[in-house]
Amino acid sequence: MSSPTGASEVRPQAVLDGPAAAAVFLVVTVEPGGEPAARALLGELPALVRAVSFGQRDGELSCVAGIGSAAWDRLFGPPRPAALHPFPELSGPQHRAPSTPGDLLFHIRAPRPDLCFALAAEIGRRLGDGAAVQDETQAFAYYDSRNLLGFVDGTENPVGSAAAHAALIGDEDPRFRGGSYALAQKYLHDVDAWEKLTVEAQERVVGRTKLTNIELGVPGSHVDVNTLTTADGTELRVVRGAMPFGRPGHGEFGTYFIVYARDPEVPETLLRKMFLGTAEQGPDPLLDFSRPVTGTLFFVPSADLLDELTAR
């Protein structure tokens, strides 16, 4: 991987992996006394991925591990990643983004759900009573990269060196080069209310055509609010890995939203625009139909640093 940030000299975790057919998002808190088991698991994770996928056709299994702010000091101590902090709750006049517990994140991706399941089960066994599951979401690809509201999702992701520049820490935090920050939220959709809108009204909310995914340039739309530029017009990018999930029998339809960024201020600024609005525009209109129930920020060490930390 080549990156102008200098992150090419270290091995990142699989934060730049493309979309997969299946995923599991597992967020846990480490119980008092569970720190040794958590450190051991983090050190063994690459071997577990290889073992679960060994010999499997289409076995492109990957797992990204992240550590929350409170857990970092308990597991590894100083130094800390420069921008690691608790996820900030956002409460606007209409919408709220909660901050919820999370010490460890495991973002598992594979072409087959059984591989995701097998790795998540092994992670749970290794942690045992030393951790409590805060959220476990099994997600899937839906039609042609669509979310459960029927719109294509993630088409504006950067690729190649642009993705590395957006997601991987460079020389601004040399000790943690090649790492990333993962911001994760679980959104539930009010599909019944959404389906009462005409297609044209849905398109005005999202800012894209539903069938062909063409941007419409609608001021104040979801697409408009989720675009962040600098004073000179440069767009600030993140790498998005959102996927749909749901349980139709329980009336649950949602999107697990996860972004990787070299600076968490970028996605947090986007969230402030979404939930609080700005002097120029109101909050994201899609929030009238989609609400977050979790919110956590994690630091994702490079693969090399994770090896070093867990070998202590």
φ, ψ at 263 (rounded to 5°)? -135, 115
The model's pLDDT over 191-246, given as tens digits with 9 standing for 90+, comes to 999 999 999 999 999 999 999 999 999 999 999 999 999 889 899 999 999 999 99
State the chain's mean pLDDT as an integer. Answer: 95
| pLDDT at residue 162 in the model | 96
Residue 76 has pLDDT above 70, yes or no: yes
Reported pTM: 0.95
The model's pLDDT over 9-58, given as tens digits with 9 standing for 90+, comes to 899 999 999 889 999 999 999 999 999 999 999 999 999 999 999 988 77
State the Cα–Cα distance between residues 164 and 239, nearest whole angstrom: 9
Which are the contacts of 293, defined by CB distance < 8 A and separation ≥ 6? 98, 100, 186, 187, 188
Highest mean pLDDT among 121-125, 152-156, 225-229, 277-281: 121-125
State the Cα–Cα distance between residues 156 and 159, nearest whole angstrom: 9
The model's pLDDT over 264-277, given as tens digits with 9 standing for 90+, comes to 999 999 999 999 99
Confidence of residue 250 (pLDDT cuts 50, 70, 90): very high
Catalytically annotated residue among 103, 135, 153, 263 = 153
Output DSSP code: residue 87.
P
Residue 155 has pLDDT above 90, yes or no: no
Residue 1 has pLDDT above 60, yes or no: no
CB neighbour burial string for 91-111, b if at least 16 within 10 angstroms, e if fewer: ebeebebeebbbbbbbbbbbb
The model's pLDDT over 161-174, given as tens digits with 9 standing for 90+, comes to 999 999 999 999 99
Q: Is 109 helix (H, G, I), strand (E, B) or coil?
A: strand
CA 262 vs CA 20, 160, 248, 306: distances in Å: 22, 15, 36, 17
Output DSSP code: residue 111.
S
| pLDDT at residue 57 in the model | 75
| pLDDT at residue 118 in the model | 97
The model's pLDDT over 78-124, given as tens digits with 9 standing for 90+, comes to 999 999 999 999 999 999 999 999 999 999 999 999 999 999 999 99
Residue 139 has pLDDT above 70, yes or no: yes
Q: Look up residue 35 and give its two tokens.
A: 């720190």
| pLDDT at residue 4 in the model | 42
Ramachandran area for residue 251 (φ above 0: left; ψ -120 to 50: alpha; else beta): left
224 catalytic residue (yes or no): no
| pLDDT at residue 8 in the model | 53
Q: Look up residue 215 and give its two tokens.
A: 């941007």
Do 97 and 269 contact (CB within 8 A), yes or no? no
